Structure 1
């Protein structure tokens, strides 16, 4: 298995980043749902908040690495036998997912640093609060974070559904290009 992408197939590093980010995003959404039911005095409140922030920053860092990697080794294009609407839909889906991978962590950062305190990344180091966040911006960031998380679930389901459709109905290599072999 090649490390870099080819014209027809995703390389090992791209696949690794894809699946790590997917697992992180789904885990972060689950953790977010878990956290909203906790009270301040719950023993898991601080720990869940800490891990949600740290894992969110990790997901953002991996997305930035993946974006840079795509500049270095461009992704394979869609299969030749796809319909024009499928190619357009796939491109739109990927752009929207990229937007989510960048906007959700940025909104989380704004929420987390709105009191002017840094974010502790796994207690290894601190990411400083570099933006002065007023109450209006904080409320906007909370809404963006919340609604885009749900939009991401919807998009991820569509992304996975399209891949499964190509695998089981079209019987083409769309899904196989991202699986381990």
Structure 2
């Protein structure tokens, strides 16, 4: 299977690398963000972690944009025919919600940083463009939205995983979608 193409059984290598790489990144970003939020403002580690969190968040946003574009230009396997219409619609809704949130979360962090009057920097080496002028009131809204969007993403991720596991272990054998994204054999 080459990097861009799929066959009837799964996604291409590029899609799999994006999927699993971003899955790992989102776990780390959420863990670091949660830890960092609980640190005292005077803790020197907080600023260092915040800089790393923002840098990787900006990279994550770029990867999410690449992923959306790639999803539009590459072919993806159809959902199994054995799935009910409501399951197909739910799968598409959860997937679309995850894509939207994977862009909205880092964008809200980027906006929050700009609105508080700071640039977003990639590892202290490159300042990214300032998209918003300082506005503390709107910055406070972005600060409230950021973790709420993360919670929404966690719900969507849970639904995504639960659906894949349901299709693997509960539904008919032909409903198993996990081998498309993982190097595992289909159910016997």
TM-score (ref. length: structure 1): 0.93
1:88-126 deviation line (CA, Å, top 9, x unaligned): 000000111011011111110011112332111023311
SS in 2 for 1:80: coil
Q: Which residue of 2 aligns with 1:119?
A: 120
Q: Which is further off, 90-99 or 71-80?
A: 71-80
Which structure 2 residues correspond to residues 1-181 of structure 1 after superposition, within 5 A? 1-6=1-6, 8=8, 9-170=10-171, 171=173, 172-180=175-183
Unaligned runs of 5+ in 2: none
2-side partners of 1:5 and 1:157: how far apart?
A: 28
2-side partners of 1:75 and 1:139: how far apart?
A: 40
RMSD: 1.5
Q: Is the 8 A contact 1:110 1:133 kept in 2?
A: no
1:67-100 deviation line (CA, Å, top 9, x unaligned): 1212221322211111111100000001110110
TM-score (ref. length: structure 2): 0.90
Q: Which is further off, 169-178 or 33-42?
A: 169-178
Q: Which is further off, 138-147 or 9-18?
A: 138-147
Counterparts in 2 of 1:168 and 1:48: CA distance versus 1, 3 Å: same
Unaligned runs of 5+ in 1: none
Q: Is the 8 A contact 1:116 1:129 kept in 2?
A: no
Length, aligned pairs only: 181
